[in-house]
Structure 1
Amino acid sequence: MPDLEFELTNQDGDRVTAEDYRGKIKLMFFGYTSCQHVCPVALSKLAEATRALGEQADQVEILFVAVDPKRDKPVLDEYVSHFKPELVGLTGTQEELKEVAKRYRVAFSYEKPRKDGFYIVNHSGAVFAFGPEGKSRLLIDDQAKASSITADLRRLLEQSKG
């Protein structure tokens, strides 16, 4: 699994790179704001797992890479705030998103729009965990329970102490 590397736009419209997020454990998840099932469940679970760390929760940052910029950009800030105030929403151009997805071997594709214009984005559900310096550490299965993720985070935090 490759180390953390990207250049995208955050929910505030600022250009950011992986370097901007050094110093904390990072959990990176790919999805989209109109997702009705996988994304809300996954982000809620990650927020729950992080909150369960108590005082150590501020040492973990969740990066949500939104792969549907057409619909995601206008609502990204509000969307991520529902799960955890510190959750970071990231998006970019189609080309930038494809590049980041390719780096982590994440698949996403757009289904044909329905008559009302709504469409689904098929995407991977795994969560990538990185150490404070951006080194890849763990791939978390999308079926993992919050308690299991919390245990993994505790181990990563302990290992990052040196």
Structure 2
Amino acid sequence: MFNQTNFIRILRFSIVFCAVSFLTACDFSAKKFFNTDITGASSFNPNFELVDQLGNVRHLSDFKGKVAIIFFGYTQCPDVCPTTLMEIKEVVELLGKDKDKLQVIFITVDPERDTQEVLAQYIPSFDPSFLGLRPATPEALEQVVKGFKIFVRKESTQDGKYYTMSHTSGSYVVDQDGKLRLFIKHNQGAQTLVNDLKQLIN
């Protein structure tokens, strides 16, 4: 037998349930980034074991509690690397009081020439807080290249006396829990990156 009272109760419950489900699915608090959101991308393995410019062995887990920008390059890079580091330096300055919650990490793809001593001179010239890391072995370089899915290729000059390194020009952002969150294309502009970083820092 049709019971109007029970029907109304069920209808009210269904409306409330659907409304809650809709709001949860939409998640209006979700962050909107200018750069490429790679949150949850399982094909990456950002963990590494590298040596910094002071000779200390470093792992990604060392930087938990901070948001990290990870950039790949080499010290003899003529254009992309220094301009990117200068842009990140501007980002640090624009962050103001939040800059202490950020760690900038430069990983060389040319450990043959980028020795510990070279990194110790090059990296602090942009900002004393920047950290330079290098693979101690070819295997360590291969691991980090595969883990971050970057492109690296050694290219010799015609006379064979010199070489350059072609490499991915973008950077990565890792959040305070050590999870990959963003891929930053080259030359996006400092303010754009600051806007994204503040969402992860706060």
How do 1:58-137 and structure 2 match up within 5 A?
58-73=100-115, 74-92=117-135, 93-113=137-157, 115=159, 117-137=161-181
Are 2:57 and 1:5 equivalent residues in the alignment?
Answer: no
Question: Paired residue for 2:194?
Answer: 150
* SS of equivalent residue, structure 1 residue 27: strand
1:52 Cα shift?
0.5
* SS of equivalent residue, structure 1 residue 71: coil
1:148 Cα shift?
0.6
Counting matched residue pairs gives: 158
Question: Paired residue for 2:89?
Answer: 47
Normalising by structure 2, we get a TM-score of 0.74
Normalising by structure 1, we get a TM-score of 0.92
* SS of equivalent residue, structure 1 residue 64: strand
1:3 Cα shift?
5.7
* SS of equivalent residue, structure 2 residue 156: coil
Relative distance call for 1:95 and 1:113 in structure 2 (3 A) is farther
Please say if residues 49 and 57 of structure 2, whose CA atoms lie closer than 8 Å, have aligned partners that are also in contact: yes
* SS of equivalent residue, structure 1 residue 70: coil
Query: Percent sequence identity over matched residues?
Result: 33
Runs of 4+ in 1 over 6 A off after TM superposition: none
Relative distance call for 1:3 and 1:95 in structure 2 (3 A) is closer
1:83 & 1:71 partners in 2: Cα distance? 19
Please say if residues 3 and 134 of structure 1, whose CA atoms lie closer than 8 Å, have aligned partners that are also in contact: no
Question: Paired residue for 1:21?
Answer: 63
Structure with greater helix percent: 2
1:17 & 1:31 partners in 2: Cα distance? 18
1:102 & 1:60 partners in 2: Cα distance? 25
- Over aligned residues, Cα RMSD in angstroms? 1.4
Relative distance call for 1:8 and 1:18 in structure 2 (3 A) is same
Are 2:78 and 1:36 equivalent residues in the alignment?
Answer: yes
1:118 & 1:50 partners in 2: Cα distance? 34
Q: Which runs of 5+ in 2 are unaligned?
A: 1-40
1:115 Cα shift?
4.0
* SS of equivalent residue, structure 2 residue 196: helix
Q: Which has the larger radius of gyration?
A: 2
